[in-house]
Chains A and B, each alone.
Chain A
Amino acid sequence: MDIDLIVEPDLNPAQLLEIAQAAEKLGIRGLWTSNYFAHWDPFISLALAAQQTQRLLLGALAVSPFEMHPLKISNALLSLNEISGGRAMVAVGAGEGNLEAMALKKPKKVVGAIREALEIVHKAANGELAAGYQGEHFNVNLPCTYDWHKSTPPLIYGTAYHSMMMRMEARVADGVYIGCTPPEIAEPAMENVRIGLGRREHQPVDFRINTFWGWHIKKDRAEAYRESRRELPWRARKLDPELLALYLTDDEVKLVRDNYDNYVQSYFDRSGHVKEVPEEISNRLCEGLTSTGGLEDLDREIERFRKFAAAGFTEIALRLHDDPMDALTLIGKHVLPALR
Chain B
Amino acid sequence: MDIDIIVEPDVSPQGLAELAVEAEKLGFRALWSSNYHQNWDCFLALAPAAQATSKILLGPLAVSPWELHPLKMANSLLTLNEMSKGRAILAVSGGGGVLGAMGWKISKDAPMWPFKNPDKGDRSPERRVAGVHECIEFLQIARSGKMTYAYDGDTFQVTRPFVMEYATSDGPLIYGCCSGPMMIRMGARIADGIQVSDFTVDMMPEALENMRQGLSRREQPAEDFRFGNFWAWHIKPDETASMYEARRELIWRGAIAAKNAHDIRPHLDNDDEVQLVIDQWDNLFKAFWTRSGKIDGLAEEIVNRLIHGMSSAGGPDRIEQEIERYRQFANSGVTELSLRLFDDPMEALQMIGARVMPALR
Contact = CB atoms under 8 A, between A and B. Distances in A.
Contacts of B45: 79
Contacts of B98: 71-72
A66 B113 contact: yes
Contacts of A333: none
Interface residues of B, number: 49
A142 B101 contact: yes
Interface in A240-273: none
B68 A72 contact: yes
B347 interface: no
Contact of A102 (B12, B69, B80, B110): B69
Contacts of B162: 37-38, 101
Contacts of A4: none
A66 to B, nearest CB: 6
A78 B42 CA distance: 12
Contact of B158 (A47, A102, A138, A140): A102
B19 to A, nearest CB: 16
B165 interface: yes
B166 A144 contact: no
Given A79-B40, A148-B40, A40 B102 contact: no
Contacts of B166: 10, 12, 39-40
A144 to B, nearest CB: 4
A51 B165 contact: no
A270 B231 CA distance: 52
Interface in B73-115: 75-76, 79-80, 82-83, 97-98, 100-104, 110-114
A191 B229 CA distance: 59
B13 interface: yes
Interface in A39-60: 39-41, 43-45, 47-48, 51
Contacts of A144: 37-38, 101
B75 A40 contact: yes
B79 A100 contact: no
Nearest to A130: B38
Given A68-B72, A82-B13, A107-B111, A142 B97 contact: yes
A67 interface: yes
A273 B191 CA distance: 45
Nearest to A124: B38
A99 to B, nearest CB: 8
Given A69-B104, A142-B37, A148-B40, A40 B113 contact: no
Contacts of A69: 67, 102, 104, 114
Contacts of A78: 40
B26 interface: no
A114 to B, nearest CB: 12
Interface of B: 10, 12-13, 37-41, 43-45, 47-48, 51, 67-69, 71-72, 75-76, 79-80, 82-83, 97-98, 100-104, 110-114, 123, 142, 156-160, 162-166
Given A69-B104, A79-B45, A102-B72, 13 more contacts: A10-B166, A47-B48, A71-B98, A72-B102, A98-B71, A101-B71, A102-B159, A104-B112, A105-B112, A138-B114, A142-B97, A143-B38, A144-B38
28 contacts: A37-B160, A38-B75, A38-B163, A38-B164, A39-B75, A40-B75, A40-B79, A41-B72, A41-B76, A44-B76, A66-B112, A66-B113, A69-B102, A76-B44, A79-B40, A79-B44, A82-B13, A100-B159, A101-B162, A102-B113, A104-B113, A107-B111, A138-B102, A139-B103, A140-B102, A141-B100, A141-B101, A146-B38
Interface of A: 10, 12-13, 37-41, 43-45, 47-48, 51, 66-69, 71-72, 75-76, 78-80, 82-83, 97-98, 100-108, 113, 124, 129, 137-146, 148
